[in-house]
Structure formats: C-alpha cells, structure tokens
Chain A
Amino acid sequence: MEPFVQNLILGLLLGGVYALVASGLTLIFGVMRVINIAHGAFLILGGFVSYAVWTWLGFDPLLCVIATTPVLFAVGWVVYRVVVSPIRTAPMSSTVLLTFGLALVLEAFMGYVWGNNSTAVRPSYADESYRIGDLFLPKAQVYGGLIAIVVLVGLHLLLTQTWIGRAIRAAASNPTGAQLVGITISSIAALVFAIGIATAGAGGAIAAILYPFVPGSHYQWIARLLAIIVLGGMGSMGGAVLGAVMFGLAEAMTAAYISPAWATAVPYAIVFAVLLVRPQGLLGSKLRDDAVAQ
C-alpha cells in the first residue's frame, strides 16, 4: 500500500504543476479561440528569467515567481499587441501557424541570450523532501504545488469576483453583446493573453527548479499541455485542472506499474480513449455544432 500512496502523492504533485501551466493555455483558448503553440516557449522563458534573477540577484527561485509573473505579463501584452492582434479574427489555423513561428523565434532568442546548454536552478532545498513515516514529499514539488493552488485560486477569483473577470467572461460568451455594453474586446483579449502568459511565467519559475531545461524543452511541454486541455475540455479552467491531475497521475502510475518506457505514452492513450467517449473533453460542453454534425 505504501508504494502506491507514495506514487499517488508524486502523481498529484506533478499534476499540480501541470495544472498551473495549462490554466493559461486554456484561458487564452477559452476567450480568444487562439491555440497558443508558443505557450511552452513562454514557460521556458519564465524559467530563464527566474534563472537570471536567481543568479544575478540571489533571490530564492520560488520568490522569483514574483518577478517572472509580471515580466511575462508584460511580454504577453506586447506580443499580443504586436503579433497576435492583427490576426486575432483570422481562421484558427492562422493563429496556430503564427504562434508556432513565435515559439521558434522565442527558442532562437533564448538560445542567443542564454545559450543552448542545459540550465538548472538548484536552491538548497531542491533535492530535499519532507518525511511522513516512510513517505517522502519533495519540498520543491510541494512548494510548487502550493504556488499553483494560490495562482489558480487567484485566477478563479479574478474571473468570478471582479468586474474584469465578468468582462472577460462576457467577451468570451458573446463578443457582440459585450461590445454593446461598453467592453472593449481588443483590450480584454490583450489582458487575457497577458494573464495566460503570466501563468506560464509562474509555472516556468517552478518548473525550472524541478527539471533542467534548454531553449528547445518547450516542445516537450507544449505536447503535454495541449493534451491536458483537450482532455479537460478546451476552454474550461476546471477541465484543465482535472486533466492536469489525471495526466500527472497517469504518468506516475504508468512508470510505477507498467513501465517508465510507457509513462509518456499512456497518458496520451487515455486522452484518446476519453475523446472517443466525450469528444468535447471531460468538462467541455457539447456544442450545437457538434450536435448538428452527428
């Protein structure tokens, strides 16, 4: 029983980090219908910003979240205004290509600035764990999971308890109606994109402590993140959290009870199986268009 509980804990902690990063991706899709292929690259950029703050200023890498989040928010805002905004209403395939190109540009930029060598952020507690009997809880994962919860709850409160949140939801559900009541859609879109990228920045600061990374590591992340938001239901925040936790658990349990060789494949098989039964994802809505297509 004990190894199972240990693996369960490790899977949940992994899922918590996935949830933080996936939330921004699904938020951007939910409001803007933009599949941001560059999201993983922004995550790695957050990792490098955290690394820079840690090495130059000596801040604790977890506190670097305070730096990476606003920095990536600003980057997201500028990127939206300069790059994404001109084609926001274009077909979705255009935004996919655009953000894929953006990912390549970001990778090249990071390689130019920080080099293509592997980078590791190792505070003193990076390889330490809390012990409960024979169980261990890696400190960095625990702190990362707690930060993920704080950020996700903050995001939830922002969307449900504030005027800006209501404006975001109005813009997502009925852009024309939102405009009629005085909401500037382009400003809301820029804000949402920036918030989404800011969550990638927060996630990047945490991921940098957990795993070494290179500029090209974003490919591994974006593949997982896309699978997570599809599993949870694209555009659904709750779905992203649920999908992330399921993904993390599936990776951990597969590595423990099937084989580590299948640990990165089985979660995708689960996504495939879920989509066969629920094409809209776990918490996604079945839409009118889907019904018509049946």
Chain B
Amino acid sequence: MSPLPRPGRRTRGSVTLLAATALALSAPACGIGGGDDDSGDSSGPITIGTSLPLTGEFSQPGQAAKEGYEVWQEMINAEGGLLGRQVELTIKDDASNQNTIVADYNALISQDNVDLLLGTFSSLLNLPASSVAEKNQMLYVEPAGGSPEMFTRDYQYLFFTQQAPVDRQGDVFAEWITSLPENERPKTAAYPTLDDPFAIPTSEGIEEILSANGVETVYRETYAIDTKNFDTIANEIKAADPDLVVQGAIFEDGIGLVRAMLKSGFAPDWLYQSTAPSLGEQYAEGVGAQNTEGVMFAISHAPEADTPGNAEFVAKYKEMFGGLPPEDAADAFASGQVLQAAVEGVGSIDDQAALADWLRDNEVETILGPLSWDETGSPEGEFLIGQWQDGKVEYVLPEESATTDHIVMGWQPGDAS
C-alpha cells in the first residue's frame, strides 16, 4: 500500500529538519498578566509573582492553583490588603515545562521586579523554580512541591505549605492498612508509579511501611510522563494479581490505569492513588462515577473542615468559580495565607531572610490546619485520607478529622467483570 510517488527532495535533509523541530518543540512561555515595576513604591500595590502550569501536562492542577491564588488575592484585598497595600498577582504560564519555568521566575524577579514570590505546582517544576528563588534570596512559599529532593538542598527560603512531604503523604493510609485484621489485610501489593519527583516518593513511602509489615511487593514499575496507553501495564499488574494497587499518579495517568484495569477485567481488592482522585468531578468523569467506589487517596484539604477561614474560602471560591474548591486551589490559598502571615509577622517585605526566619520560628494557622516547618522548609504534620463513597469524597482518616465513621472495605468498581 504505497500509492504515493516518492518525495522529490532530500529525505536526509527532511529528517535533519525533523530532528531540529523535535528539539524546538519545548513549549514557550506565554505570559499572562503583567507586573508593574513599582517595587520601590511603598504606597502602591504589592506585586506577587508566580508561574503555573496553565497548559500542558499539569494544566489541570495548575488551573486550580491559579484559582486558589486569585481567591486569596480577592479576599485579602477586600480586607484592606497586605500591610495596607493592595495585592497584585502576576501569573505566567510555564506550560508544564522545566525550562520555561526557570525563564519565568527569572523574568518575574529581574524584569517584572515583583516584591514577593509564590510557588508553582508539582515537585518537577518547583525544583528548578525554587533554585531561582534561592539564588536571588527571595522567599519561596509553594503549595505543591513535597518531594524529598526539595528538602535535601539546605535551602533557606523554601517553605512547602501542605501538612507533610510526599514520602510521608500515605503514612496514615499505610498504617491503617497494617492495622487491619489478618483476614482483611492485603497480602500483596503493586506499585505502578509515574516517573516524577512527587509520585515516586509517595508510593515508596507507602511501600516501605507495608513491606515492613509483611505486605509483599509483586510489581513495582515506573512509567514515563508521556505514557498514554496503560493497557500493557494493566495486563502485567493483572498477571501479578496483587490484593492492593498503590499508584503514584498525577491525573491523566490515574484515569488511564483505572480504565485499563477495567478493560483487562482486573480489579484489585484495594486501590489507592495519589492526587488524581482528589480532583473531584474531573476524576469521576474520567473513570466513571460508578467506578470510584472505595478508591482511597491522601488529601490535604477538606471543604467541610472546621479550620480558621475555611468556610469563608469555600464560600468565596463558590462565588468566583462555582462548585467546591479542588484540593490544589485550597493548597494555593494556604500558600497565600502563609506568605501573608510571614509579611504581617515581620511587618515589612524588605527583608526576605527575616520573612524566612519568621516562618521557621512560628506556626501558621491555615485552612489546611496549623502548619509548621523544620530547618529545611519541610512541613511537620500529617495528611488526611479521603475515600470515594457513593459518588462523593469522604474523609475517613485520621479519625479525629473524619467526616464519616464508615470506611468502604476495598475498591468496588461497578464496571469490573
């Protein structure tokens, strides 16, 4: 089947051009908003810069983080601003690209001359972005970069505003699993995990606890970020026949694996995924609401939580964007709260080192609960564990934060055969 005549130009030249094109395919920055060069004006607005993955692989949580920042901006300005000055956000789009985000934060600091920085989404992007901030000795409060690698660099200006780093994200879940009666406890586990500085430590942290308590690992593999087809991976997991699947996922990969397992006719007794199930309706739409029953995941924020300012945040989010705020929006909002606490605690934005010192020495009340940090900027709390029940998310662990005392014992997908 080759009806077309052969090309009349040099194939080799075309191949070379294609190779060059492939190199050029790194997405460029697409700035939105624009910072004013007004850092020297103490009566003008305080400019805060960030770059988020508004397009590309992480656009889903990136958009949510943007919403969270915007809710915080709206609320703080309505209350009179920060140190009596209005807050103005400059948000760039890093297109989920590590090279772009470095350029973006350099531009925020040296061209837009922002007064303060807020972080981006994912460890993958926060790793280089935080290096730019550290080099420029600027406070870097970030909502979604909890990989252990973030905190092994002795950075002085970095603070992660969730309850725990990602390698401890699933501790509560793993410890609960090991506390189950012998006849209900999974004996074997599989750990398909995205090759990502967030996802790998998440599943490794759970595996460490489960392995130490006798749950045998029968499958552990990482897959590349551009993996689209999960059928083969699901087939291999099916062959390993684990009782529990723990997937270190972001979003689309979480959807992809659930659907592939359903197609293969395999449903493990238990399913835990990072991040993906926390994205509410998007997750339910992706895997089918009937297939969510019993899926467990770690989550930093509960819209129903009785934490200071949470009800106001949820109400404002509903007013601005409709619906309940996704976790990533809440995390971003909490970053704003932490930054606000540091600035108000110090009473100035002039000394970024003083802001960092203040955060190391103080606990901050946020909508996620109280946050505090060690010397590396790593938080010292513990996550909530959520579970899909009857088409909506319930918070089941730890008991003192639970929204229900009922835990669905295992994954019960409606489509599994």
**Chain A positions near chain B (C-beta within 8 angstroms):** 3, 6-7, 10-11, 14, 27, 29-31, 33, 35, 37, 92-93, 96, 100, 104, 107-108, 111, 115-118, 120, 122, 126-129, 131, 136, 138, 141, 152, 156, 159-160, 165, 168-169, 172-173, 210-212, 214-216, 219-220, 222-223, 226, 230, 233-239, 241, 251-252, 255-256, 259-265, 275, 279-281, 283-285, 287, 289-290, 293
Q: Are B224 and A261 in contact (CB under 8 A)?
A: yes
Q: Are B282 and A261 in contact (CB under 8 A)?
A: no
> Can you list, as one digit per residue, whether each of B199-239 has a CB less than 8 Å from chain A (1) or not (0)?
00000000000000000000001111011110111011001
Chain B contact residue count (CB 8 A cutoff) = 66
Bound CA–CA A97/B7 (angstroms): 20
Bound CA–CA A235/B5 (angstroms): 8
If A159-B3, A236-B4 touch, whether A226 touches B18 (CB-CB below 8 Å) is: yes
Given contacts A104-B28, A129-B263, A216-B55, 4 further A-B contacts (CB under 8 A): A169-B5, A215-B55, A223-B22, A260-B192
B25 / chain A contacts, CB cutoff of 8 Å: 37, 100, 219, 222-223
List the B residue with the shortest CB-CB distance to A259: B221
Interface of A is mostly: helix
Report the stretch among B111-119, B163-171, B248-256 that lies at the interface.
Answer: B248-256
The residue that B11 contacts in the complex, of A129, A141, A280, with Cβ under 8 A, is: A280
A285 / chain B contacts, CB cutoff of 8 Å: 6-7, 11
Q: Does chain A have a CB within 8 A of B60?
A: yes
A131 / chain B contacts, CB cutoff of 8 Å: 265
B62 / chain A contacts, CB cutoff of 8 Å: 116
A117 / chain B contacts, CB cutoff of 8 Å: 59-60, 63, 282
> Can you list, as one digit per residue, whether each of B1-18 has a CB less than 8 Å from chain A (1) or not (0)?
111111111111111011
**Chain B positions near chain A (C-beta within 8 angstroms):** 1-15, 17-18, 21-22, 24-25, 27-28, 30, 54-57, 59-60, 62-63, 95-96, 192, 195, 221-224, 226-229, 231-233, 235-236, 239, 251-252, 255-256, 259, 262-265, 282, 285-286, 288, 291, 415, 417
A-B pairs with beta carbons under 8 Å apart, 12 shown = A37-B25, A100-B25, A115-B63, A118-B60, A159-B3, A169-B4, A255-B233, A256-B236, A259-B221, A264-B227, A287-B6, A287-B8
Q: Are A216 and B264 in contact (CB under 8 A)?
A: no
A141 / chain B contacts, CB cutoff of 8 Å: 231
List the B residue with the shortest CB-CB distance to A7: B232
B233 / chain A contacts, CB cutoff of 8 Å: 255, 260
A111 / chain B contacts, CB cutoff of 8 Å: 55
Q: Are A238 and B12 in contact (CB under 8 A)?
A: no
Q: Are B224 and A237 in contact (CB under 8 A)?
A: no
A160 / chain B contacts, CB cutoff of 8 Å: 3
The residue that A37 contacts in the complex, of B21, B30, B54, with Cβ under 8 A, is: B21
If A111-B55, A259-B222 touch, whether A10 touches B231 (CB-CB below 8 Å) is: yes
Bound CA–CA A173/B9 (angstroms): 11
B195 / chain A contacts, CB cutoff of 8 Å: 261
Bound CA–CA A30/B8 (angstroms): 9
Min C-beta distance of A242 to chain B, whole Å: 9
Bound CA–CA A236/B2 (angstroms): 6
Min C-beta distance of B214 to chain A, whole Å: 26
Q: Are B4 and A293 in contact (CB under 8 A)?
A: no
List the B residue with the shortest CB-CB distance to A10: B231
Bound CA–CA A165/B1 (angstroms): 14
